[in-house]
Structure 1
Amino acid sequence: MRWPTVLLGLLAVALAQDSSTESSESGTTTDGTVVSVTTPVAIPSGTYQEFSTTITLSDGDESVIASTTHYNGTRTASNQTAVTTTSDSLTLLVGGGGTTVIGNNSMNATATATGTATNTPVVNTRPCNNYPEFCTRKYSNITMVAAHNSPFVRKNSVAANQELDVTTQLNDGVRTLQFQTHYVNGTIYLCHTTCQLLNAGTLEEYLIDVNKWMRRNPYDVVTFIIGNFDYVSPENFTTPIYNSGLKDLIYTPTKVPMALNDWPTLSEMILKQKRAVFFMDYQANQTAHPWLMDQFSQVWETPFSPTDPAFPCTQQRPPGLSEADAKDRMYMANHNLNLQLNLGSLSMLIPNTALLDETNAVNGSGSLGEMAQECNKTWGRPPNFLLVDYYNYGDFNGSVFEVAAQMNNVTYDRNCCGKTSGALREVSVGGMSTVLLVAVGVQMLMSAF
């Protein structure tokens, strides 16, 4: 296939930031040894935050935090001092009959009638995030399916990562929404790499749809992982988040940073109606906005933008994290397989849709299930977030949710997924989907006019 010179020029401008370059960043093995991790794609170069002490917060944005440092490069360990706090006593969700239950993370709680305890175990029947078993579990003790670049839904677009809109994603069981943002003329937009390539609208518009869904589903906790691509200040995010209607649902942590055992149960978050959890990868300022949490102080990640179908469960971001610290915070497994697409001198990463049936499968080489099992074995607990492209594809409908259910030791019995077109299943030529190649050409040529 011959590519017109004008098309190559347009591709070079619009996709330059997706170019794949050799880049290395320090990481650690599971024995705590600091190593150099080399990947085929440039890793974001924002600064990472480190808290020399654990700060106890009060509710709201009035809390003041000190002792925060920022760093680039390698660090060998963090010096975190635990602070003992007590949490509010809450009634757990059981649903029906007016029965209340008092307990502490155990499904074998004790039922009470007019304040008198009985010896009859009560089994919760009200689902929290689709499962009654989750109500008494800590937020940090649940594996969730995360939609990689959730807003980027566009037919035949090489920059798309999902096929179904965010409302359908949530209906199907996705409970973590990850996305990339860009700051354009004073507004936060949802754009993939550049807004010329794929612009999914404003952050506020996207979150309005999520807010509508959350109001209709009061027993669900939803997590947002914001990619601050342009490294702008967090004040640019507060207005669209507040204007979306989510302000009163925002969860504010009790400490900075939050270790595994610091997180509340889902029932606590739901009963308080503080069930919208926000993380931002770079430039978070929890001194000013404790609720907009610095991701890497609480959640580490496996290799970024993976092209290796083996999906090694090694810790990459933040760099230089010790084994002890990694085991005391949540982690996200990046399981969105990318394809290296080379067009002359151009090089970019696109979702490897040809292997979705294998990548999102429960079993087999390179599968989500195999990776989750390996992570569980390596780190002593499964990932908290399974970040996937096109979650509605797999070896069967709902395979990614089956993997999460296995990690959570629950039974997946829901219907999945929203309407699909089957358009991703294309014959590849020379390792590249002809539909994707045509989509690139058509999309970029149209953007020139």
Structure 2
Amino acid sequence: MKILPCLSIWILAQCAYTLAETTDTTEGTDTTSTTTTTTSDTTSGYIVVTSETSVAVPTGDYITYTTTEIVSSTELNATATSNATTSTTATDVVLVGTGSSSNSTATSSSTSATNTQACNGYTEFCERKYSNITMVTAHNSPFVKKNSVAANQDYKVTQQLNDGIRMVSFEAHYYEDDIYLCHTSCELLNMGTLEAYLTTVTKWIKKNPYDVVTILIVNSDYVSPSNFSAPIQNSGLVDYAYEPWKIPMSLDDWPTLSDMILTGKRAVIFMDYEADQAEYPYLLDEFSQMWETPFSPLNRSFPCTVQRPTGISTTQANNRMYMANHNLNLEIVFDDIDILIPDSAQINVTNAVSGYGSLGVMANNCRSDWDRPPNFLLVDYYNDGNFAGSVFEVAADMNNVTYSGDCCGTSSDAVKVNSIITLSLTIAVLTTLLSYLV
């Protein structure tokens, strides 16, 4: 009889690892009280608790700059006045850099040349500032694994970039004297080293010379940024890394995509906590230059309010880029275990162009609230929606361009379907075992 309690405890521990979707809670969290609604699913026998607020919010130390630092006046002048033109003899395309700061549909202001080369997939983007484009972000990009509820995407990063993803985000953990990409814990889901992942990203960047890619590193263990320099350098990404001319960069300080492409600095690398731009100028502090809407949302209304960094004014928010977190989570409460997993069952609505809880509605609400669209739309399973590529349709609408509709990879629902089955079976086993203890 003593075996059952021990077995139950072991399975509960494994369940916590296997089912966990508390993506960034290892960063350090401030658990808050929430108003919850509890329902019982008589089919599976487990309790589902939904909430109108996030269960936990990462509470790392945010960097606050009281003054700005001009790093390079030379780059400032080049960014502000660039009107360079380049052409490739192989395809006879022309790329024009103008330094335009338009907040709407960009048009060429050059009389000497007309741009014929797309930047990030659209010719209209070439003359727009980096901070004036809405990009789709693959939340937890590396976490692709069948039959794991810790997965967030169906396709690996090369396919993500091929399909139109232009920002990738991921958790990074200090593990076995290196930086690994692990979901919550390296015992739960370990997708290998940061260096290996960045090497793959760099290969794609090298093969696609007219694209600007953004990387958002979640420094889950709050380790020194020095731990990230070797992976960035060894992968070759440092050769493409953009180094701002000013710390921090305000909304209007960013260069145009064509300027970044012409200089070859086409990878923007952000880190959420512990960045030191003075020491590592290519590793940008996220929250002094970008804010985010509520983290790990459970609320299907997806409010477009500032959650991180805390305490910034409306004026400050208006002067920074922002990311709309639109990855809906499901909270599971069983006994004393409280975990979050991606709400895959509603992904076709969550990633849809329209309808309550959709990405399209949130993006439009954000545009209305802040008089400008989000810079980044963070989503799970980007390839799913009310149609393949619906998230890119939303981004195109925010950018006032026409989406080509060419998406996405090879169709597969195995990850999500099997994850839901695995979840139900695990809960059922726990219920049976725990009944012996009552």
* Preserved contact between residue 7 and residue 441 of structure 1 (Cα < 8 Å): no
Match of 1:309 in 2: 300
Matches within 5 A, 1:130-279: 130-279=121-270
Matches within 5 A, 1:419-438: 419-423=410-414, 426=417, 433-438=420-425
Match of 2:49 in 1: none
Q: Which letter does structure 1 place at the counterpart of 2:124?
A: E
**C-alpha displacement at 1:42, in angstroms?**
1.5
Tell me how far apart the structure 1 counterparts of residues 118 and 152 of structure 2 sit (CA, whole Å).
29
Q: How many residues align?
A: 395
1:348 aligns with 2:352: no
**C-alpha displacement at 1:342, in angstroms?**
2.0
**C-alpha displacement at 1:247, in angstroms?**
1.4
**C-alpha displacement at 1:291, in angstroms?**
1.7
**C-alpha displacement at 1:434, in angstroms?**
2.8
**C-alpha displacement at 1:400, in angstroms?**
0.1
**C-alpha displacement at 1:229, in angstroms?**
0.4
Tell me how far apart the structure 2 counterparts of residues 99 and 40 of structure 1 sit (CA, whole Å).
48
The verdict on how the C-alpha distance between 1:86 and 1:270 changes in structure 2, with shifts beyond 3 A counting, is closer
* Preserved contact between residue 92 and residue 136 of structure 1 (Cα < 8 Å): no
**C-alpha displacement at 1:246, in angstroms?**
1.1
**C-alpha displacement at 1:290, in angstroms?**
1.8
Q: Which letter does structure 2 place at the counterpart of 1:9?
A: A
Match of 2:433 in 1: none
* Preserved contact between residue 93 and residue 117 of structure 2 (Cα < 8 Å): no
Match of 1:43 in 2: 57
Matches within 5 A, 1:395-434: 395-423=386-414, 426=417, 433-434=420-421
Tell me how far apart the structure 2 counterparts of residues 17 and 417 of structure 1 sit (CA, whole Å).
25
Q: Which letter does structure 2 place at the counterpart of 1:133?
A: E
Structure having the larger proportion of residues in helix: 2
Match of 1:111 in 2: 111
The verdict on how the C-alpha distance between 1:209 and 1:167 changes in structure 2, with shifts beyond 3 A counting, is same
Tell me how far apart the structure 1 counterparts of residues 428 and 189 of structure 2 sit (CA, whole Å).
14
* Preserved contact between residue 157 and residue 439 of structure 1 (Cα < 8 Å): no
Tell me how far apart the structure 2 counterparts of residues 349 and 21 of structure 1 sit (CA, whole Å).
16
Tell me how far apart the structure 1 counterparts of residues 379 and 243 of structure 2 sit (CA, whole Å).
27
**C-alpha displacement at 1:88, in angstroms?**
5.3
Give the secondary structure class of the aligned counterpart of 1:188. Answer: strand
Q: Indicate the RMSD between aligned Cα atoms, in angstroms.
A: 2.9
The verdict on how the C-alpha distance between 1:346 and 1:315 changes in structure 2, with shifts beyond 3 A counting, is same
Tell me how far apart the structure 1 counterparts of residues 20 and 176 of structure 2 sit (CA, whole Å).
21
The verdict on how the C-alpha distance between 1:258 and 1:440 changes in structure 2, with shifts beyond 3 A counting, is farther
* Preserved contact between residue 92 and residue 135 of structure 1 (Cα < 8 Å): no
After superposition, the C-alpha distances for 1:378-420 in whole angstroms (9 at most, x for unaligned) are 0010000000000000000100000000000000014100012
Q: Percent same amino acid among aligned pairs?
A: 54
> TM-score, length-normalised on structure 2?
0.84
> Which moved further from structure 2: 337-346 or 144-153?
337-346
Structure 2, unaligned runs of 5 or more: 1-6, 35-51, 101-105, 430-438
Structure 1, unaligned runs of 5 or more: 26-37, 64-82, 113-121, 443-449
Matches within 5 A, 1:265-344: 265-344=256-335
Give the secondary structure class of the aligned counterpart of 2:11. Answer: helix
**C-alpha displacement at 1:436, in angstroms?**
3.2
* Preserved contact between residue 21 and residue 40 of structure 1 (Cα < 8 Å): no
Match of 2:80 in 1: 87
> Which moved further from structure 2: 334-343 or 355-364?
334-343
